[in-house]
Chains A and B, each alone.
Chain A
Amino acid sequence: MKYAYYPGCSLHSSAHEYDQSMRAVFSQLGMELEEIEDWVCCGSTPAHMANELLSVALPLMNLLPARRQGLDVVVPCAACFSAFKVAIARAESDDHVRGQLASVLDEEYEGVRVLHALEAITDGPGLERISEQSLHSLRGLRVACYYGCLLTRPPKVKKFDDAENPQSMDRLVSALGGEPVEWSHKGVCCGASFSLTVLDVVHSLTGDILEQAKKAGADCILVACPLCHSNLDLRQGDIERERDIKIGLPILYFTQLLGLALGCEPESLGLDKNFVSPGWIIDRITANDIELDSAAGNEAEAAALRGGQSDNG
């Protein structure tokens, strides 16, 4: 299975570990990623605040090479994913927009399938196969799965998972033997790009998310967006000081946790880049060795460590 890969600007800098873990995990699962040649910025939030046509043209400019190769596109960043899905929805529903696009891009619009990385991984190989391939269990790990805003909303555009109580990451964690916690803030906004301009708001929103995850008994928070990761990880120390509380929750990209379960080396997953150290989580997971149990003839134990696919949804 081969995908055209659109990393986005963040994955080449502040979210470098997301890029590393994406490549490691896709490789482990036997899926090929081919980075789109000469991709340009998708425009993210600023484009749709400034100009409608620009916000639609920038993402579509990147889809054209993939379409020519007949490949589906995989996007790890939730903001880029949103830009692509919105652009496609506008182009497909509005003739006027399609006409404008044709004149500025010098090419007619044609449909391309765009998937968020979470969707590609959970729908592609399937949870059963991922579970069978895992070498380390997440047993004993309580995970707060944080979806943020743009993965699932608005549902008519994203057409992925449930908009009010998404479950795809939760199911992945269960399939790997971990325990996804029930909590209140799985889809509540972190403040996103206000991180640079309206920091107080980010501290307020992100602080609430961290506190609620802690309250729900989570050991760590799983994310699928560079900006969410940045707000929850980089800003955690400042928020702790501001609120005079202790949080200490490592923030992991879902690809990093999946990579650990599949037996990838922690450095290859960029786990040395977190501000809040996930060291103890790495130790705990790598200690749950499924192969050892299988080899010892302990099939029942190995199966238990692998976990099932929960029907929380």
Chain B
Amino acid sequence: MAQYKICQRTLDADLLHEVAGRSGQNVAECYQCGKCTAGCPMAGFMDVPPNQVTRMLQIGDLAVLETKTIWLCVSCETCVTRCPREVDLPRLMDALRQITYERFNEQPIRIRTLVLDALIETWRGMKKGLKIGTPHAQRLFSATFLENIRRFGRSFEAGLIGSVNLNVGSPLGNMDKGPEMLMKGKLKILPDKNCAVTRIQELFAKIEELEKKTL
């Protein structure tokens, strides 16, 4: 059984300050009533229930960054709507996601690492007979989505689906819907052309400059 030593050092951990700063939330407000977990549509799929994420932050357990939970939160906002202390848990989840996202971005071969991780996780999962996606798939999805809008200014759905599929090792995923969607005019083969791509690229560049990080 894991043993936690709660002392000033764990409570002063940099991570906790960083999470508090980014999210504007004080995790000490949470008194573990469990209402968030009770209403969370994803709780049954998570490795750690939502209220335990707050608990892990309260006691300084850095393993919170390794959980599947933070990437399985779908930001449905049910928890924050019901929390008697008004702790914005989706925002805490965002802060944790942003931190892990940035740690990946610090690696020089970021996309290749993400793809490799995703493939390995998928293969491991398949061996265990699991179909549920992993943090890597969700992180990859976010990264691919943002790369797309940086290139085209708007989300290019066909490109997004294609690259996510390839990168998680299921190239034919969702392909059965493709033909019908194409016929009904619900799928664009080429991205939208006429929009302010340069403005978006400038925005990304300015944010990277301001925050000294890669998006």
Contacts and interface: CB of A to CB of B under 8 A. Distances in A.
Contacts of A44: 145, 155
A50 B101 CA distance: 6
B154 to A, nearest CB: 5
Nearest to B42: A201
Interface in A1-21: 9-10, 12-17
Interface in B93-141: 94, 97-98, 101, 131-133, 137-138, 140-141
A124 B211 CA distance: 42
Contacts of B160: 196
Nearest to B145: A46
Contact of A40 (B137, B154, B158, B173): B154
Contacts of B213: 51
B17 interface: no
A61 B145 contact: no
A41 B210 contact: no
B2 interface: no
B86 to A, nearest CB: 8
A142 B45 CA distance: 33
A204 B42 CA distance: 10
Interface string B144-156: 0110010001110
B155 A196 contact: no
A281 interface: no
Contacts of B185: 16, 273
Contacts, number: 173
Interface residues of A, number: 57
A198 B94 contact: no
Interface stretch (B3-11, B30-38, B49-57, B190-198): B190-198
Interface in A180-203: 188-189, 191-194, 196-201
Contact of B174 (A50, A155, A196, A200): A196
B188 interface: yes
Interface stretch (A99-107, A109-117, A217-225, A287-295): A99-107
Contacts of A17: 186
Given A40-B195, A49-B94, A198-B137, A13 B77 contact: no
A117 to B, nearest CB: 19
Contact of A194 (B94, B133, B199): B133
B62 interface: no
Interface in B21-39: 22, 24
B48 interface: no
Nearest to B22: A52
Contact of B81 (A94, A100, A153): A153
B67 interface: no
Residue with the greatest number of chain A CB neighbours at <10 A, chosen from B137, B138, B164: B138
Given A40-B149, A54-B207, A197-B164, A49 B142 contact: yes
B203 A50 contact: no
Interface in A130-185: 149-150, 153-155, 163-164
B84 interface: no
B154 A194 contact: no
B164 A196 contact: yes
A64 to B, nearest CB: 10
A103 B210 contact: yes
Interface string A232-273: 001000000000000000000000000000000000000011
A54 B22 CA distance: 13
A196 B161 contact: yes
B58 interface: no
A50 B146 contact: yes
Contacts of A10: 155, 157
A189 B78 contact: yes
Contacts of A49: 94, 97-98, 101, 138, 142
Interface string A11-46: 011111100000000000000000000111101111
Interface of A: 9-10, 12-17, 38-41, 43-54, 57-58, 61, 94, 100, 103-105, 149-150, 153-155, 163-164, 188-189, 191-194, 196-201, 204-205, 234, 272-273, 275
Which 3 pairs show the lowest CB-CB distances between chains A and B?
A9-B155, A198-B133, A153-B77
